Structure 1
Amino acid sequence: METRKLGRTDIDVSPIGLGCMQFAGAENYTRLIIRPIGQETATSIVRAALDGGITWFDTAEMYGKGRSEQALATALKECGVSPGQVAVATKWTPYLRTAASITRTIGDRLAHLSGYPVDLHQIHLPVGSLSGIPAQLRAMARLARSGQVRAVGVSNFSARQLVLAHRVLAAEGLTLAANQVRISLLHRNVERDGVLAAARELGVTLIAYSPLEGGVLTGRFHDNPALAGSAPPARRFFSRKVLSAQGLARTRPLIEAMRGIAEGYGATISQVALNWLITRYGDTVVAIPGASKPAQAAEAAGAMGFALTEAEVGRLDELSLT
């Protein structure tokens, strides 16, 4: 199985990981984005991901105040995975907190993960903290130097903020491993806002969240537009432009092209969308689709089983920008 380094660290990950927001439980804002699932289903999803070759999992403090971390740890144990056999990424929530809470709350992260180490600890957002970004990065650096986390990353950082984070960590003798940002065939802002260029120059991995654009890039809403009304509220809001009748009509040529490509590989539309991400941007980008069913995790893992040709990537490039 091909692996990629997280930035310039020694952490190897599969090109496709598993996003674990759906493990947060029902008593959390995440229910507005994705339907929560129980532990039995979570364990089945993790097992399917592992069986498909996925070697890392992304969660966050914000996902149910640690419930997602706990559910992931329970699932890994139930699947017979020992600490260190897979990589785990999590995130610190900055809202109305100072940088000091990064060091104060690392014990909670480790407790919720029940012995699974934090391979990548990320600042969830560049806004909301009572401390500046440099102070936050220096606190993260202290955790890395003490061995409480293996590597430091950020999430939703702009190109300017990415450069700043890299510079602060470099002064601490560390490297910035990753920046988690929204990237998909229907959201290619990183190519225009400088984030992709900065990441490549600095050797930082971009972790693509929402790689299937809330399910739009599976083709199911194109096949049955009525399903759009049943999507969780926040998903309907964030994807409103593409879930509208006009948006679905505009993106239908892209979906149909993906359907044709998928047939040639014995794959699915969503697998083509994921493969485009990990092929189009090379080693710079890895992706973390979520899964609410084991079959979806297996399908996501299957996206690593083929490689689109340069011509196929180019064709999807053209259609995704129209």
Structure 2
Amino acid sequence: MVKLRRLGRSEIELSPVGLGCWQFSEGFGLAGGFWEALPADTVQEIVDASLRGGINWFDTAEAYGNGRSERALSTALTSLGRKPGDVVVATKWFPFPRTASHIGKTIDERISCLSPFPIDLHQIHQPFSLSTVEAQSNAMADLVQAGKIKTVGVSNYSEKRMRAAHAVLARRGVPLVSNQMQYSLLDRRIESNGVMAAAKELGITIIAYSPLAQGLLSGKFHEDPSLIKNRVGPRKFLPAFRAKGMERSRPLIEELRKIATAHGATPSQVALSWLLQFHGDTVVVIPGATKRRHAEENVGTLQLTLSPDELRRIDELSQHYR
């Protein structure tokens, strides 16, 4: 039985591992271009493996293929016999180049794309907008009070913006339940820029996206660098994927492999488990999956517990990524 975690100061309970659905974008648009288009039966297999392994929530977004990911998720869940209330669904509104008024104007499209599944968590996808944090937060609170969404989150918000959104929503009697941030052993900036500390103080859940650093923490690219050249999208050009970046992360990868072997696990599972354990219940993770076996590996993390010494060793080897 998977022990669930409370989503911020809401009544919603999440499995520590969710499924990120960015890769369901069908290769459409700027965001979707990071991934090859997946056949519908593959999407269903990924969702099925996630559900069977104990995952109870899914994170998607308007920007993921302009609604294509939302529709693909809804279709897969429906085909698998899931009904409204069986799972928790999170999506996001994309703010640029829009104003806060578009939050209310586009919500019916979000509801339609995800139908029949309700929006349990609606998030502001980026901090860049033509409106203030106050205006956007009030527009989200309007949706909660109209019964169109259950809770409000943000994504990629600095400590200052997160605190501002929290304060505006609090005046409306609505909690800010989450801040979705890029967070992995190869990107620990939220630990040093105030975001993690503020989240703990305010009771806000950190939803870690790219928790495997787009696959780097699996170790497969360190074993065979030629795999990078065959990747679809711009990942191959990121500094972490270049030779110098790979050598910098190699000691950490070797330690993840060592710990994984001791547990009969994989380096990816160890990397995810560290995120879930090191900060108590504050962090949940949303790794993606493009194959059923990826989803099965993700959910296997739920059965892994690292020792205090293992947590410390990993911490020490990834300190320079803070």
> SS of the counterpart of 1:7?
coil
Cα distance in 2 for partners of 1:126, 1:27 equals 23
Q: Deviations over 1:250-301 (max 9, x none)?
A: 2111111111111111111100011011011211100000000011011001
Runs of 4+ in 1 over 6 A off after TM superposition: none
Please tell me whether the aligned partners of residues 17 and 288 of structure 1 are also in contact (alpha carbons under 8 angstroms): yes
Find the counterpart in structure 2 of residue 270 from structure 1.
Answer: 268
> SS of the counterpart of 1:174?
coil
Please tell me whether the aligned partners of residues 31 and 232 of structure 1 are also in contact (alpha carbons under 8 angstroms): no
Please tell me whether the aligned partners of residues 23 and 38 of structure 1 are also in contact (alpha carbons under 8 angstroms): no
How far the C-alpha of 1:242 sits from its partner, in A, is: 2.0
How far the C-alpha of 1:227 sits from its partner, in A, is: 1.2
Cα distance in 2 for partners of 1:26, 1:233 equals 10
Please tell me whether the aligned partners of residues 34 and 235 of structure 1 are also in contact (alpha carbons under 8 angstroms): no
1:82-231 matches, within 5 Å, as 82-127=83-128, 129-231=129-231
Letter in 2 for 1:185: L
Which of 286, 289, 308 is matched with 2:284 structurally?
Answer: 286
Letter in 2 for 1:125: Q
Q: Deviations over 1:157-203 (max 9, x none)?
A: 00000000100000111100100000000100011000000100000
How far the C-alpha of 1:234 sits from its partner, in A, is: 2.3
How far the C-alpha of 1:126 sits from its partner, in A, is: 0.7
RMSD (CA atoms): 1.0
Please tell me whether the aligned partners of residues 235 and 241 of structure 2 are also in contact (alpha carbons under 8 angstroms): no
2:70 is the alignment partner of 1:66:
no
Cα distance in 2 for partners of 1:302, 1:269 equals 12
Cα distance in 2 for partners of 1:193, 1:232 equals 32
Please tell me whether the aligned partners of residues 9 and 151 of structure 1 are also in contact (alpha carbons under 8 angstroms): yes
Please tell me whether the aligned partners of residues 92 and 102 of structure 1 are also in contact (alpha carbons under 8 angstroms): yes
Cα distance in 1 for partners of 2:89, 2:32 equals 22
Please tell me whether the aligned partners of residues 17 and 287 of structure 1 are also in contact (alpha carbons under 8 angstroms): yes
- List runs of 5+ in structure 2 lacking aligned partners: none
Cα distance in 2 for partners of 1:26, 1:32 equals 5
Letter in 2 for 1:90: T
Find the counterpart in structure 1 of residue 257 from structure 2.
Answer: 259
How far the C-alpha of 1:34 sits from its partner, in A, is: 2.2
How many residues are treated as equivalent by the alignment? 319
Please tell me whether the aligned partners of residues 27 and 34 of structure 2 are also in contact (alpha carbons under 8 angstroms): no
Cα distance in 2 for partners of 1:145, 1:227 equals 49
Task: Choose 281-290 or 228-237, whichever is displaced more.
Answer: 228-237
Cα distance in 1 for partners of 2:243, 2:140 equals 45
1:10-89 matches, within 5 Å, as 10-89=11-90
Cα distance in 2 for partners of 1:310, 1:79 equals 39
- List runs of 5+ in structure 1 lacking aligned partners: none
> SS of the counterpart of 1:291?
coil
Please tell me whether the aligned partners of residues 236 and 242 of structure 2 are also in contact (alpha carbons under 8 angstroms): no
TM-score, structure 2 as length reference: 0.97
Cα distance in 2 for partners of 1:303, 1:105 equals 36
> SS of the counterpart of 2:295?
helix
Cα distance in 1 for partners of 2:125, 2:257 equals 34
How far the C-alpha of 1:311 sits from its partner, in A, is: 0.6
Cα distance in 2 for partners of 1:182, 1:133 equals 20
Cα distance in 1 for partners of 2:20, 2:155 equals 14
Cα distance in 2 for partners of 1:192, 1:206 equals 14
Please tell me whether the aligned partners of residues 32 and 64 of structure 2 are also in contact (alpha carbons under 8 angstroms): no
Q: Percent identity?
A: 50
TM-score, structure 1 as length reference: 0.97
Which of 295, 310, 320 is matched with 2:308 structurally?
Answer: 310
Cα distance in 1 for partners of 2:18, 2:143 equals 24
Task: Choose 1-10 or 34-43, whichever is displaced more.
Answer: 34-43
Cα distance in 2 for partners of 1:36, 1:285 equals 29
Change (3 A) 1:31 1:175: closer
Letter in 2 for 1:156: N
Cα distance in 1 for partners of 2:98, 2:243 equals 41
How far the C-alpha of 1:27 sits from its partner, in A, is: 2.5
Letter in 1 for 2:311: V
Q: Deviations over 1:4-24 (max 9, x none)?
A: 011000000000000001111
2:298 is the alignment partner of 1:297:
no
Cα distance in 1 for partners of 2:229, 2:144 equals 45
